Structure 1
């Protein structure tokens, strides 16, 4: 059954699936091709004719990170990659607009797909939430620090998508004044970056970071030079523009080796004038933040490289970021809350990176879940985790205590063996050394 919405951006024809109205592939910006490829995103002109929003939009990912990924991440061909998807309740008699969850996918800023079935919004719709997924530029096109090119184009894409949501989401039943920005892995890092940015102010009211971190790029490390040599072009705007996004993505995967984070947010422009940890001390203090990590991330027995490196990647990249963010926001009136996901997947032998997603989205029946979680993941745990996330999006205060980046911080722990599905505890992040008091911010800008 079709579903038609008339919005300021145009008329959109989606599909109705029971209680869910689904609109896919809606462009929020002009295609980043030709002269627009390495330029600021340009708002999409209003569609003069009805737009068919029944199929997934093109994805920036041309090449997945690997042949098999934990999260199913389909690549969709096409140039109109700056698009978004909306799952909205079909309740025609709703008296008040629904809160909105805007989701940023992960993938190391190199890959990932907003069309993943793991990001299906039907469980959020069931709980009275409009879910929006955002496509943004990846890899060199989105995050390479090139002379003469605006930095952080991928983040600027998300900012423009948030503007589109503010202007149009009411037509889909959403409340533009109750937008939560959320993401996982690189998407979670993007949330922290925009929370720390002066340009993010006022564009979202709540923030959720799942297994994110302070993944700033490190200009000057020689990576772009090695990439240019691999491609046979100078490491410049003109050089990389002579290669297609697919050629660039394949070359990045070849050159990066074991370094998963070769590109990311760049410090020093108007979007990120200071490092993310510093920015969190000055901006976003009026935005409640829920953040956490899985207990093992990349340190499970099925992925031994992290342990062999001599220090846990989990603590170095992920859990430490949670404590540092809480410390930077110490005293923020909006509050910071920590969670730790500890349910061990029988497939990985631990609580691996991404395995919390089907629980938070309450999608244990999604494609690819048995391959990642085994045949019988606990439905009760998914119900509790999803309820906590949905409650946060609805504006409810989490039931456990606020964090301040100190030893003994309160946290909600999910799925630790031998305990109930949910345990409110303290000190779950104590193995990570928190930021000293002198590095924690005290005021908002």
Structure 2
């Protein structure tokens, strides 16, 4: 067995593990546990320690419940008890020379679930390419995104800012180059990174960004606060820091789960969301980005072809939604008939539920991504856009939300990936996607044509990638610009 690696950072010495040519340092605190007097407070530095701290195990998971409603079949959960939930994990090549590029992974989970301890997020494939891989944990649900009187807004985003400042400060001790930091997030992780990208201090935190299938906007206080107000009403408490801090985290999680049962990121009920308020999101992130924020930071961004199917398939919505419901939803969202017609031309046999899912996906993800990329044409930093189109054979999921993860991480044989994509997912696609992400992290260019007025999109399918120009122009053109 390889000798256990050690390194010393500002708070003390950590000892990790080494296997297969890769060193791992897990569960390193970047901030103090956010409980007791620190509950609903901004992250503060961790206490220093004497001696050598064991860094062989992941830190505790943020309070949460496993997925339900059929999603548990596709999205795994990990429960690790404890209060030390604000931690980072580092993978590096055991043999290295010179400072290496760094990538920081921010997991998704609708801001209510997830952990870097999931098997599918193992950083070994990136470390094998000479990259220092870091994953971070942050506060979720009502601990991280409550909208209550007396508490800072978007604490989970402030946690991520603290973790990224830790990376800038400490990653050299692990062989990483603090001047070559790429952030990478998916779903809620991309949503929070979008908020950070929109801040004036974004360049202090990272140098490049990869945003996968993440909403780019926040919600106004009244809308974003619906979940916290509903929890307060259910528990018979005030929607205040004092009242929420007096409740057990598990109590808040249970109430949140009950209120959100049957909902989804595509639905209209109370959700946990980034609120447009406070220092983490003082204005809507997408509006700030389209107005010029973050234009000095290269971005790789995209989505999957059938994002909606991860929520519609387990709930049966693709079969239940009628033509009348599709029409009513279209009218409520002020979507013109021409948009529906464009979708039907591409998929003439699609069910009303599938058409609705496509339109909602366009409004939540594809249209904002396109408008964001358009706003950056001719600016200092380039933008690259992709679409993941490979259809999973599992339960009709197709190219659903999160389907690209096993390919990006080059771990299509991991249990997490098999649950979504089956046991025979194409390795050639993993080679193409993982290779492109590595090229971007290491050299600043994923290997395809950057965004321009021609709107080139790299489409990833079974045999790899190919460019299509403005592949959804007719479907996106008529959508209201929110």
**TM-score > 0.5, shorter chain as reference:** yes
Q: Which runs of 5+ in 2 are unaligned?
A: 266-270, 327-355
Task: Provide the aligned length of Structure 1 versus Structure 2.
Answer: 432
Counterparts of 2:466 and 2:439, CA distance in 1: 17
Q: Which has the larger radius of gyration?
A: 2
Deviation (angstroms), 1:223: 3.1
1:76 maps to which of 56, 64, 80: 80
Q: 2:189, 2:214 within 8 Å by CA — same for their partners in 1?
A: yes
Residue 458 of structure 2 is matched in structure 1 by 412
Residue 443 of structure 1 is matched in structure 2 by none
1:400 maps to which of 431, 448, 464: 448
Q: Deviations over 1:238-260 (max 9, x none)?
A: 22112122211121111124443
Deviation (angstroms), 1:141: 1.3
Q: 1:33, 1:79 within 8 Å by CA — same for their partners in 2?
A: yes
Q: Which runs of 5+ in 1 are unaligned?
A: 440-445
Q: Deviations over 1:230-289 (max 9, x none)?
A: 122122212211212221112111112444351222213222221111211322111100
SS at match of 1:25: strand
Q: Does 1:274 align with 2:320?
A: no
Q: Does 1:338 align with 2:385?
A: yes
- From the superposition, tell whether residues 96 and 434 of structure 1 become closer, same or farther in structure 2 (CA, over 3 Å): farther
Residue 464 of structure 2 is matched in structure 1 by 421
Q: 2:67, 2:76 within 8 Å by CA — same for their partners in 1?
A: no
Deviation (angstroms), 1:306: 6.3
Deviation (angstroms), 1:157: 0.3
- From the superposition, tell whether residues 110 and 250 of structure 1 become closer, same or farther in structure 2 (CA, over 3 Å): same
Residue 231 of structure 1 is matched in structure 2 by 235
After the TM superposition, list the runs of 4 or more consecutive aligned residues in structure 1 that deviate by more than 6 angstroms. Answer: none
Counterparts of 2:476 and 2:313, CA distance in 1: 27
Counterparts of 2:364 and 2:8, CA distance in 1: 44
Residue 246 of structure 2 is matched in structure 1 by 242
SS at match of 1:339: strand
Counterparts of 1:36 and 1:126, CA distance in 2: 38
Residue 139 of structure 1 is matched in structure 2 by 141
Task: Give RMSD over aligned pairs.
Answer: 2.2
Counterparts of 2:151 and 2:130, CA distance in 1: 41
Deviation (angstroms), 1:217: 3.2
Q: How does 1:250-269 map to 2 (within 5 A)?
A: 250-261=254-265, 262-269=271-278
2:298 maps to which of 264, 288, 299: 288
Q: 2:148, 2:228 within 8 Å by CA — same for their partners in 1?
A: no
Moved more, 160-169 or 193-202: 193-202
Counterparts of 2:88 and 2:416, CA distance in 1: 23
Q: Deviations over 1:337-370 (max 9, x none)?
A: 1100000000042101111100000012212322
- From the superposition, tell whether residues 168 and 69 of structure 1 become closer, same or farther in structure 2 (CA, over 3 Å): farther
Deviation (angstroms), 1:102: 0.4
Residue 86 of structure 1 is matched in structure 2 by 90
Moved more, 116-125 or 247-256: 247-256
Deviation (angstroms), 1:431: 4.7
Residue 442 of structure 1 is matched in structure 2 by none
1:326 maps to which of 362, 373, 390: 373
- From the superposition, tell whether residues 269 and 431 of structure 1 become closer, same or farther in structure 2 (CA, over 3 Å): farther
SS at match of 2:205: coil
SS at match of 1:220: helix
Counterparts of 1:383 and 1:369, CA distance in 2: 15
Residue 387 of structure 1 is matched in structure 2 by 435
Deviation (angstroms), 1:215: 4.5
Q: Does 1:302 align with 2:313?
A: yes
Deviation (angstroms), 1:320: 2.0
- From the superposition, tell whether residues 429 and 213 of structure 1 become closer, same or farther in structure 2 (CA, over 3 Å): farther
Q: How does 1:328-367 map to 2 (within 5 A)?
A: 328-349=375-396, 350-367=398-415
Residue 347 of structure 2 is matched in structure 1 by none
Counterparts of 2:274 and 2:477, CA distance in 1: 23
Q: 1:226, 1:255 within 8 Å by CA — same for their partners in 2?
A: yes
User: Structure 2 length normalisation: TM-score?
Assistant: 0.85
In terms of fraction of residues, the more helix-rich structure is 2
Counterparts of 2:110 and 2:412, CA distance in 1: 24
Counterparts of 2:161 and 2:73, CA distance in 1: 28
Q: 1:277, 1:324 within 8 Å by CA — same for their partners in 2?
A: no
SS at match of 2:28: strand
2:10 maps to which of 8, 12, 18: 8
- From the superposition, tell whether residues 9 and 435 of structure 1 become closer, same or farther in structure 2 (CA, over 3 Å): farther
Q: 2:439, 2:447 within 8 Å by CA — same for their partners in 1?
A: no
Counterparts of 1:156 and 1:137, CA distance in 2: 9
Deviation (angstroms), 1:121: 0.7
Q: Does 1:430 align with 2:473?
A: yes
Residue 364 of structure 2 is matched in structure 1 by 317
User: Structure 1 length normalisation: TM-score?
Assistant: 0.92
SS at match of 2:257: helix
Q: 2:413, 2:423 within 8 Å by CA — same for their partners in 1?
A: no
